[in-house]
Amino acid sequence: MNSVSFLGDMLQTIAERGRRFLSPSGKEEAGAGGVEAICETLLSSHGEASGMALAKTILDRWSRFDEEQRRDFMVMLLERFGPDAARLDKAIDDYRGLRTPQALLELHSAAEPRRQELIRRLNLAPNGIATLVRMRENLLAMKSAQPDLDAVDADFAHLFGSWFNRGFLVLRPISWSTPADILEKIIRYEAVHQIDGWDELRRRLAPDDRRCFAFFHPQLVDEPLIFVEVALTRSVPAAIADVLREDRAAIAAADATTAVFYSISNCQQGLRGISFGNFLIKQVVEDLRRELPKLDTFVTLSPAPAFAQWLARERRAETSDAIDDTDRAVLAALDDPNWLSVPAATTAVQPVLTTAAAWYLLRARNAQGKPVDPVARFHLGNGARLERINFLADKSASGMRQAHGLMVNYLYKLDDIETNHEAFAGRGEVVAAQGIRRLLRADRPQRALAVLRAPPRERPVGAKTADGKGTRELT
């Protein structure tokens, strides 16, 4: 307990060190001399003697680079800090000849781009990791225009995967007594249901029936990596307004039976592809169960961010397994921006839209044969079950635009998580509540049959939204 406090002081050290060096001092600029030379020095034996200073110099310079210079820097990493080709060729020959573990070791080592060790040494700088994460964020933005930078990105991703290993992450509750500078970032990073200022943040954190948890890395002081917002309720909510309504009455946490994960947001673009969400949810479920033994239901209230786009495509397509002409006629009502206020329209649309959504979630597949919906991919991949589709659950502008107001509950049942995951990962099966499966069976027997015969059609729908803010929550 006290050795913990002892170590707690550590982070003070980390942070102070970080702060002390936070603002680039700007003086060493003078001797320009080219960053490449400094990088080579850092990689040389010299790096052992004065690695911290060299690393700091490089990162400081990079921080002051303009976009052009940053691109040049990445191209330099690509072209000048790949593997040593001659050494690699020799290593390949040796391996082909000898096949010894030693030769293999050398082959692996020779094939490693020199920039990997360079990045490792850049991490020697105080607060280096924070700059490296920003560096990759910048790199990701460049990649679309310059795809050969993929090779550099792969090295960043490899190292970040190792450094941000779940074993190094720490789960922290976020509450109304969390420091304001961290809360400010929660407001900024919330990617699903926007937080309109501090009063709303307070409503999401302070009441007894609200929780929030984030993963942190001990070296990235005051930067949450991913966070989830949780509502404690007595039933599974069918609309986001039930959760976020300003005037709702809070209940005592001890009376809740259900924990609703209603928003999950990744915070660091520079860590894209390093997966935290899976661990986050499981850890939060475990912690909540320990604190509140009466909780027996763990469920999400999730967006379906690609649904409207997919549906538009189906409606335009000549033939569709998902909808027929009758459906098309009904769905035409959606083209009226005011359809929500036309009772007849909503009544007619509800069954058709819900059934289409069931198809979308259960059957629609992207080019990789995975569900089109990125949120579905995430939760199903984690072993959750598709539990319920909620009509008009999110009437906000973005909710209507992305999914015609539909939202989805995914259920995390601890005992079934492994089996569900296996079904999904191994056999591509989407585990869903009977109510949803029945929607398809009862309604569209012929199509369900068709699916059994033919492989799912590939539709690269999800790809397009993968970078959008809407799915930043689960990238």
CB of 171 to a second copy, least distance (A): 6
Does 124 participate in binding a second copy (rule CB under 8 A)? yes
Specify the residue, 51 or 303, whose C-beta has the smaller distance to a second copy. 51
Binding residue for a second copy (CB under 8 A) from 238, 292, 417, 463? 417
For a second copy, the closer of residues 69 and 168 by Cβ is 168
Site string for a second copy, 248-277 (x = CB under 8 A): ---------------------------x--
Nearest to a second copy of 6, 31 (CB atom): 6
Closer of 82 and 456 to a second copy (Cβ): 82
Contact between 22 and a second copy per CB under 8 A: no
> Strands 297-300 and 258-266, how do they pair?
parallel
List the one residue from 43, 135, 183, 212 that touches a second copy (CB under 8 A).
183
Please select the residue that binds a second copy; options are 73, 95, 227, 378, rule is CB under 8 A: 95
CA–CA separation, 158 vs 273, rounded Å?
A: 10
In the window 130-149, what residues touch a second copy (CB under 8 A)?
A: 148
| Nearest-approach distance from CB 377 to a second copy, in angstroms | 12
Report CA torsion sign: 231, 233, 237, 240.
negative
Quickly count: other Cβ atoms within 10 Å of residue 202's Cβ.
14
Closest CA to 279 of 99, 417, 131: 417
Beta bridge partners of 226: 215, 266
Q: Which of 74, 221, 225, 236 binds a second copy (CB under 8 A)?
A: 221
Q: Which of 25, 165, 235, 350 binds a second copy (CB under 8 A)?
A: 165
3-class secondary-structure state, position 347: helix
Please give the Cα distance from 430 to 461 (Å, whole number): 18
In single-letter form, the type of residue at position 157 comes to A
Nearest to 17 by CA among 121, 124, 118, 119: 124
The DSSP annotation for 236-303 comes to --SSHHHHH-TTPPP--GGG--EEEEEEEEE--GGGTT---HHHHHHHHHHHHHHH-TT--EEEE-B-
| Interacting span for a second copy (CB under 8 A) from 278-286, 316-324, 389-397, 462-470 | 278-286
| Selected range binding a second copy among 100-108, 225-233, 328-336, 385-393, rule: CB under 8 A | 100-108
Is 332 an interacting residue with respect to a second copy (CB under 8 A)?
Answer: no
Coil, helix or strand for 433? coil
**Shortest gap between Cβ of 318 and a second copy (angstroms)?**
36
Could you tell me the two tokens for 76? 């330099």
Of 39, 42, 74, 125, which one interacts with a second copy (CB under 8 A)?
125
- Site size with a second copy, rule: CB under 8 A: 92
Q: Is 23 helix (H, G, I), strand (E, B) or coil?
A: coil
